[in-house]
Structure 1
Amino acid sequence: MKLLLRHCDILAAGETGFRALKDAYLGIDGDTIDYIGTEGPKAAYDQTKDMSGRLLLPGLINCHGHSPMVLLRGVGSDLPLQEWLFEKMMPIEDRLTAEDIRAGNALALLEMISTGTTSYSDMYFEPQTAAENAIAAGIKANLSRPVQCFDKDERYEDNFRARQSIQLFKDFHGAAEGRVRIDFAIHAEYTCFEHIVRPYSAACRELGGRMQVHLSETKKEHDECVAKYGKTPARWFCDLGTFDSPTAAAHCVWVTEEDMALMLEKGVSPIHNPTSNMKLGSGYAPVQRMLDLGLNVALGTDGAASNNNLNLMEELHLAAVLHNGYHRDPTILKPAQLLAMATRSGAKLQGREDTGELAVGKKADIIALDLTKPHMYPDLDPMALTVYSAQGSDVAMTMVDGKILYENGEFLTLDADKILYEAKAAVKRLYG
């Protein structure tokens, strides 16, 4: 089917980033954008949709999270990461069943889709439940089963997490016409050992996979790795072959100049998670330096237990103002750079070169912001309006591959009542 969105404002792809179009048209043929312009297209369309009062922009791509942790939202607040993780998170996570995880992921999908996320990257156990949910919901997802090892004497062949990860790749990679991609993942340097990381990284490379890791999130993690191995986490992963596959590195708060040069050389994409890093007191990632060096910086929410939401519109705003304040310089990060981090750069990180911008030939992964809200008027600078004024609740439509998943408060592919019922049952079982 061919669909024409008309009388909308559009943040379309431009030669140097984005170009703003007023009262414009966007045509879709099946799952692909086939027209963008300020004059009506000459070609015929099967259906037209009036989008007056709407601003179209590329769907947001949340490049780091742990979606089922919405069930732990509010647990362990005001604790440093190590205490938060080992004393609060893991004891509850040990009690999660596959159905709890399925329910948590479905709840997370409601939150992400309704706030403009069209594709997300996730790192969690029982990930086959997330794959099945993504297929049903129509969203795009890069899913992974993180590998950990807490026994230095455990053989790689006996690490069930690595086996599950590789089997997941074989079962689901490329499912739903490519909407579901399976990544490999190593949770972190401090939750694994060299004799596990090296062969697992080799398996990722041999199978043509992509890797997700947590990297230098805290000073404690970074410094203890140097004390233990005489090298930073980035160098440790690199020397073990992890960076020989396209790698997404979450946080990167404490990376050094040498680390960033290494990441640039190996094509590692850092993921900025401003809310999580501030809430856990981890620090401020050197995002502007990364961008200046040419690193492909993307944006993520992290999990809802350390954020405490999955609203990427909020991350856009915080990332914009955070670095200006920290550096006492209002020119540090421009709105166009932030929006690129949340769209184009995220698509590159996920290996989805056919999305991330509104351009002819790209997939129709599109969101619409409601310009009729009081805080969205006047629209004198659409880019600034998106980054500094818009809220997740302003998302009026979310479309993936030309299919509308959410519109005007209604979920079209998910049963929100059933999902909320099942999430409540999981919470009751976990907390009594």
Structure 2
Amino acid sequence: MTSLLFKDITVLTEEGKTVPHAYVGVTDSTISHFQLTQPEDAFDRVIDGRGKLLMPALYNAHAHVPMTLLRGRGDNLPLDRWLNEAIFPFEVHITEDATYHATLLGIAEMLRFGVVSFTDMYFCTDARARAVLDSGVKCNLSDCVVCSEPGMTYYDLPLAKENEQWIAQYHGAGDGRLLIDMSLHAEYTSTPEVVRTLADATKAAGLRMQVHVSETQKEVQECIERHGKTPPVYLADLGLFDVPTTADHCVWLTDEDRSVLAEKDVFVACCPASNAKLGSGIADIKAMKAAGITLTLGTDGVASNNNHNMFQDLYLLALMQRASDANPVSLSAEELITIATRNGALSQGRVDCGRMQVGSRADLTMLDIDTPWMQPVHTMAENLIYSAQGSDVVLTMVDGTILYENGEYLTIDIEKEIAETCAARERILSEMA
């Protein structure tokens, strides 16, 4: 049994409540103490919390982490051209080895910014799973279905057999840190029969679903032309939302779409940085919340962000809605903190995560708040959203194990992963030439 005490530290809960001069104990993988007096128990290590802030760590609800290889590629292109001209031709050359190192580099970046878990949609699943297990983070991993061939079903795809193997090998691995999800890339890269049979398979396996939904206005218009329905209504009618689902982006929604997503208890992963960079639009988070939709936060891939700094995404999520509405009244700082922590954990099915509570998993991040941009403090939640920087993170802990502290990665050889990922990029560019 291992134990650690954060002593005399300011705590910010998942609901944005500030608790000064707190004592937070971690025993093995869980939070064992959260009180205002020093526990009588002995701890293996005591961290002086003066000048620091402790909070539930962040959950990245939508990512394509191996796209670390493509950081910044295809700038100044709309989504369809960006995918077809810059991204897909590069991805053809990505190997399992390149995926492993690029995933580790992306994980290192997330740990540096206080992220402990991510919902990932990509390919080369064995390599990604190995990176997750080797690094010690949490992940909901999926290999997305892409099939527009008429007459095909999900069960006809090689991916159907591969998913069975990955579920048997990885689902629940690493003491539950790694979970396997199903995923559909999007309406526009599939057929109704593929969607329907994927929904059936997901329900039979008891898994969760990830899917891109209504990211651009063009996507919505073309879906209506093909099916006479918007993407959320189309996917709901085919049963895709009959399992716990995270719908990514959801920028262009109608009132009916929001009602459908709320009725089906679909989580929405907002990706403000990616949507802004690709010119996709600004998701109406106020309308989604008013409709009863549970919101989460994602970075998307770094090719369209271009980083995994979720503090930046939180800041953008807060400001872009206000700018779009020309109205300073929007989601509160407290609500935004819940979106990035507890809601993200729930979207991954991790009910014992994402909160500052005795008995919960010790997924925590500590920030240095003794800085010019974090002082003075009128409201800590406001400071976190509008003043904090991702670089303020000095410690990230997953299930009670410190994976990043004061510039040091405890499970990742950061110099090696940078070198390997850069070498893989050069190899791919050479092959493309």
- TM-score of the pair, normalised by structure 1: 0.97
Secondary structure class of the residue paired with 1:96: coil
- Return the alpha-carbon distance in structure 2 between the equivalents of residues 69 and 185 of structure 1: 17
Query: What do the CA deviations read for 1:23-44 (whole angstroms, capped 9, x no partner)?
Result: 2210111111111122212333
Q: Is the 8 A contact 2:16 2:337 kept in 1?
A: no
Q: Which residue of 1 aligns with 2:9?
A: 8
Query: What do the CA deviations read for 1:134-173 (whole angstroms, capped 9, x no partner)?
Result: 1111111011000001322445443123332333222211
Q: Structure 1 residues 195-204 or 152-161, which shifts more?
A: 152-161
- Return the alpha-carbon distance in structure 2 between the equivalents of residues 243 and 117 of structure 1: 27
Q: Is the 8 A contact 2:16 2:335 kept in 1?
A: no
Secondary structure class of the residue paired with 1:34: strand
Secondary structure class of the residue paired with 1:281: coil
Once the two structures are TM-superposed, the CA of residue 114 in structure 1 deviates from its matched residue by 0.5
Q: Which residue of 1 aligns with 2:380?
A: 382
Q: Does 1:397 align with 2:398?
A: no
Q: Which residue of 2 aligns with 1:225?
A: 223
Query: Among 102, 105, 119, which residue is 2:117 paired with?
Result: 119
Q: Is the 8 A contact 2:118 2:140 kept in 1?
A: yes
- Return the alpha-carbon distance in structure 1 between the equivalents of residues 165 and 79 of structure 2: 30
- Return the alpha-carbon distance in structure 1 between the equivalents of residues 378 and 125 of structure 2: 43
Q: Does 1:168 align with 2:169?
A: no
- Return the alpha-carbon distance in structure 2 between the equivalents of residues 245 and 297 of structure 1: 17
Q: Which residue of 1 aligns with 2:345?
A: 347
Secondary structure class of the residue paired with 1:297: strand
Q: Is the 8 A contact 1:252 1:272 kept in 2?
A: yes
Query: What do the CA deviations read for 1:290-324 (whole angstroms, capped 9, x no partner)?
Result: 11122110000000011111111100111111111
Query: Among 262, 282, 285, which residue is 2:283 paired with?
Result: 285
Q: Letter of the aligned partner of 1:360 in structure 2?
A: V
Q: Does 1:306 align with 2:304?
A: yes
Query: What do the CA deviations read for 1:333-376 (whole angstroms, capped 9, x no partner)?
Result: 21111111100110110000101111111110000111122212
Query: Among 52, 55, 61, which residue is 1:54 paired with?
Result: 52
- Return the alpha-carbon distance in structure 1 between the equivalents of residues 335 and 356 of structure 2: 16
- Return the alpha-carbon distance in structure 1 between the equivalents of residues 295 and 154 of structure 2: 32
- Return the alpha-carbon distance in structure 1 between the equivalents of residues 355 and 330 of structure 2: 23
- Return the alpha-carbon distance in structure 2 between the equivalents of residues 2 and 196 of structure 1: 49
- TM-score of the pair, normalised by structure 2: 0.97
Q: Which residue of 1 aligns with 2:134?
A: 136
Query: Among 354, 357, 366, which residue is 1:356 paired with?
Result: 354
Q: Which residue of 1 aligns with 2:330?
A: 332
Q: Is the 8 A contact 1:7 1:52 kept in 2?
A: yes
Q: Is the 8 A contact 1:148 1:161 kept in 2?
A: no
Q: Which residue of 2 aligns with 1:194?
A: 192
Secondary structure class of the residue paired with 1:364: coil
Number of equivalenced pairs:
429
Q: Is the 8 A contact 2:52 2:367 kept in 1?
A: yes
Query: Among 350, 356, 371, which residue is 1:373 paired with?
Result: 371
Q: Is the 8 A contact 1:137 1:413 kept in 2?
A: yes
Q: What percentage of aligned pairs have identical amino acids?
A: 42
Aligned Cα root-mean-square deviation (Å):
1.2
- Return the alpha-carbon distance in structure 1 between the equivalents of residues 377 and 74 of structure 2: 40
- Return the alpha-carbon distance in structure 2 between the equivalents of residues 161 and 233 of structure 1: 23
Q: Structure 1 residues 323-332 or 151-160, which shifts more?
A: 151-160
Secondary structure class of the residue paired with 2:62: coil
Q: Any gaps of 5 or more consecutive residues in structure 1? A: none
Once the two structures are TM-superposed, the CA of residue 431 in structure 1 deviates from its matched residue by 1.7
Task: Identify if the C-alpha distance between structure 1 residues 120 and 23 changes in structure 2 by more than 3 Å, giving closer, same or farther.
Answer: same
Query: What do the CA deviations read for 1:168-215 (whole angstroms, capped 9, x no partner)?
Result: 222211000100011000000000111212111111101100000000
- Return the alpha-carbon distance in structure 2 between the equivalents of residues 137 and 157 of structure 1: 33
Q: Which residue of 2 aligns with 1:276?
A: 274
Once the two structures are TM-superposed, the CA of residue 88 in structure 1 deviates from its matched residue by 1.2
Q: Is the 8 A contact 2:312 2:390 kept in 1?
A: yes
Q: Is the 8 A contact 1:27 1:36 kept in 2?
A: yes
Q: Does 1:99 align with 2:100?
A: no
Q: Which residue of 2 aligns with 1:295?
A: 293
- Return the alpha-carbon distance in structure 1 between the equivalents of residues 44 and 421 of structure 2: 39
Query: Among 10, 31, 39, which residue is 1:41 paired with?
Result: 39
Q: Which residue of 2 aligns with 1:211?
A: 209
Once the two structures are TM-superposed, the CA of residue 394 in structure 1 deviates from its matched residue by 0.7
Q: Letter of the aligned partner of 2:208 in structure 1?
A: R
Q: Is the 8 A contact 1:324 1:333 kept in 2?
A: no
- Return the alpha-carbon distance in structure 1 between the equivalents of residues 185 and 288 of structure 2: 22
Q: Letter of the aligned partner of 2:6 in structure 1?
A: L
Q: Structure 1 residues 149-158 or 1-10, which shifts more?
A: 149-158
Q: Structure 1 residues 64-73 or 160-169, which shifts more?
A: 160-169
